[in-house]
Amino acid sequence: MESNRALQTDTYADERRTSPRRPCRVRATVEPDGGTTLSATTVDIGRDGMALLLSRPLPDGTPCRIVFSIFCGGGVQRLELQARAVKSVFVPAHVRVGFAFTGVPPAAGAVLAEFVGYGKR
């Protein structure tokens, strides 16, 4: 087995999530540092990270800016968060890329907590 596991094929291998995620399908953009902006669709969102479907994998550790909107707190909330890619998995027609958020501002953290908790705090 290779020591570099940047591109996984088993979706359950090496679970890294530290908090629950809520399934969610919305459009997003991913802007890798020094790279081209990619269109994406969210798979799930949590307080500490999210998974997105992209057209290509991103190397583990790639810093990115992710922009997406969710309905929370009685309205649409637009979030722009810094994240790093932690895992790419090939799935039919896409690549599922997991991201860990880095430096979430308190207001965005409150929106994510409410969204994941379905309005409960």
DSSP-derived pairing of the beta strands 7-8 and 75-91: parallel
- Residue-range definition of the domain harbouring residue 30: 20-115
Q: Tell me what the mean pLDDT of segment 73-77 comes to.
A: 92
CATH number of the domain within which 111 lies: 2.40.10.220
Q: Is the dihedral of CA 20, 22, 23, 28 positive or negative?
A: negative
Number of domains in the chain: 1
Q: Tell me what the mean pLDDT of segment 46-74 comes to.
A: 95
What's the pLDDT score for residue 119?
A: 56
Q: Tell me what the mean pLDDT of segment 46-64 comes to.
A: 95
- Model-level pTM? 0.81
Residue 9 inside a domain? The answer is: no
Residue 10 inside a domain? The answer is: no
Side-chain-side CA neighbours of residue 107 (13 Å): 4
What's the pLDDT score for residue 9?
A: 42
What's the pLDDT score for residue 82?
A: 98
pLDDT level of residue 118 (50, 70, 90 thresholds): low
Residue 56 inside a domain? The answer is: yes
